[in-house]
Chains A and B, each alone.
Chain A
Amino acid sequence: MRLVRIEAEGHKRYIASMYTTELSKNVKPIEAAEDPALVEAFEARVAADEFIEPKDWMPEAYRKTLVRQISQHAHSEIVGMLPEGNWITRAPSLRRKAILLAKVQDEGGHGLYLYCAAETLGTSREEMVEALHSGKAKYSTIFNYPTLTWADIGAIGWLVDGAAIMNQVPLQRTSYGPYARAMVRVCKEESFHQRQGYEIMIALANGTDAQKRMAQDALNRWWWPSLMMFGPPDDNSPNTARSMRWRIKRETNDELRQKFVDITVPQAEYLGLTVPDPALSWNEVKGGYDFGEIDWEEFYAVVRGEGPVAKERMKARREAWDNGAWVRDAAAAHEAKRAAKAAA
């Protein structure tokens, strides 16, 4: 019910934003031109763990990095509705149907909070959506894989939302205030998402042979793409150091990935499922698991937009947008008529 009220407000906001002029056309990407005193003061505030707010001065590169990161996150929530949405109409019980629908609806809500957070940096939602549809903006590689069986819905909640939590919990303390606050709301819901996924896996793992097969196959297909969600290895992640200094990121890709493996492997064991990695073994010295090499070639191919169902995902998003154009036009026209009437 809470989300519904957003609809009403959000819609008005949406219409208003259609009339605003583009804000980020004249952005100068030159850091050198920035006043060193301002930069220094900014860095000091960030180092002291203060929140940066929309009206505060910030380096242009900080703004750009944040827009990129937040909008990518928002796009991931929205594109991520598709693989799971694929199973709402086929959920195997009324309870599972309701839970999945609520879950996917939450993801849409996350997208909305995040677009709003990104808009505080001076980029409109239309610009962000346009960048997604033109292929300029990226979204998480994970959503370019297909959901074949019901077990994939379990695996996504368990692994993908699990990985997302790992990524997002530290972001509740990220330096940009609106982003951090959006993450607080998002994280509250993500743990429910992971639980419902794991609960599906438990039912399958304790089920018939056919259900067990589904569960194992889902783990086989989702394991490696889930590890890829944390991004390239640290030695190949050029912006990590600066993002860490600016507290846009709070832990490195490899640190988060290790944490995820350490938490998830025992969960797989509890389910009686086998993690599809022959190199996986417990390392007493580091107190964590060693695991096999990730296929980075596959990762970069998916980043380039060559994932198994990347074309389907983009087609679905573009079609939804294009088929909805007349609706958005009508809403804007109606709003304009009302405003004219009120003014008369």
Chain B
Amino acid sequence: MPSLPTIEKDVEQRAKSAPDHGAFDSATAGQHDPAVVDYCQRLGDDALILGQRLSEWCGHAPALEVDLSLANIALDLIGQATNFLGLAGNANELAFHRDVLDWKNCWLVEQPNGDFAQTMARQFLFSTWQHMLYDRLAGSSDQRIAAVAAKAVKEVAYHRELAADWVIRLGDGTDESARRMAEGLDWCWRFLPELFELDETLQALVDRGIAVNPQSFEDDYRQAIGAVLAEAKLATPPEQRPILGGRRGHHSEHLGHLLAVMQYLPRTYPDAVW
């Protein structure tokens, strides 16, 4: 029997005035709600996969200052992923021991970095969406989700601003940078409809006030993107046939390779603690 601290008088005193309602497993109640688990995985997977992608840049960015800001965004995203996956279950178990079919991130975030323009196109399109989402999610009826979103929304506002600045700088820079930026946007454009998809799981959570209906801000989003592209003197790409399926585990070929790298240690040494 280990020696445990004695329960002192003042602790008893405090216990008397502490809240006397709620349930004993309320802190983990969400874990038993498959829809909430699914939603937290979508949010966490988006953040983790993009964070992993951005960290590939570390040490190789076009300038030292850019290296620092990409690492910073990656760090924020990994923090958000840790929080959201923690709401869905054991965050490390989820990050390192799921295969492709169980990942629920969107296609946009798993796209390769490409050149710096493609990385920034992806970041701009995603962070703008994520910012609008978190901003609303901070009002979720699920307190835990609301708290994570409220904390992260400030970080994401900065990601959005930084990415938009680069889109403008590259779009209205040299001929080469404008061409590359347009190509980066063109690469990503077919993945936008997935961000606004409303499937049954999501609809049910929207009805309960837990999730945000992304369609509620789609017009705002298109407008915000258009405004930045106009300032960047870039044409809004024409609509492309939507690529869907990420939320149901149907991904691009790129995700498997990303996971192979990311998960290699815990998978090679399943008994090890790090």
Contact = CB atoms under 8 A, between A and B. Distances in A.
Interface string A318-332: 011001111111110
B269 interface: yes
A101 B59 CA distance: 11
B68 A94 contact: no
B59 A207 contact: no
Interface residues of A, number: 55
B262 A14 contact: no
A98 B273 contact: no
B113 to A, nearest CB: 11
Contacts of B169: 330-331, 334
Given A111-B64, A327-B116, A94 B81 contact: yes
Interface stretch (B20-28, B71-79, B221-229, B243-251): B71-79
A89 B63 contact: no
A334 B168 contact: yes
Contact of A330 (B72, B174, B261, B266): B174
A58 to B, nearest CB: 27
A231 to B, nearest CB: 25
Contacts of A93: 92, 96, 266, 274
B95 interface: yes
Interface string A68-85: 000000000010011001
Contact of A102 (B56, B59, B75, B96): B75
B220 to A, nearest CB: 25
Contact of A98 (B82, B174, B264): B82
B59 A327 contact: no
Contacts of A102: 71, 75
A14 B168 CA distance: 18
Interface string A178-222: 000000000000000000000010011001101100000000000
Contacts, number: 162
Interface in B80-99: 81-82, 85, 91-92, 95-96
Contacts of A94: 48, 78, 81-82, 85, 91-92, 95
A200 B75 CA distance: 19
Given A89-B55, A105-B75, A331-B169, A211 B272 contact: yes
A251 B59 CA distance: 32
Q: Is the interface of A mostly helix, strand, loop or mixed?
A: helix
Given A320-B59, A328-B63, A210 B269 contact: yes
Determine which residue in A1, A96, A334 has the highest number of CB atoms from chain B within 10 A of its CB, and name it: A334
Contacts of A138: none
A148 B64 CA distance: 25
A218 to B, nearest CB: 14
Given A4-B158, A105-B72, A319-B60, A112 B274 contact: no
A98 B79 CA distance: 7
Given A3-B72, A112-B68, A329-B173, A210 B272 contact: yes
Interface string A100-131: 01101100110110010000000000000000
B253 interface: no
Contacts of A323: 60, 62, 115
The 3 A-B residue pairs whose C-beta atoms are closest, nearest first, are A324-B62, A330-B173, A330-B177
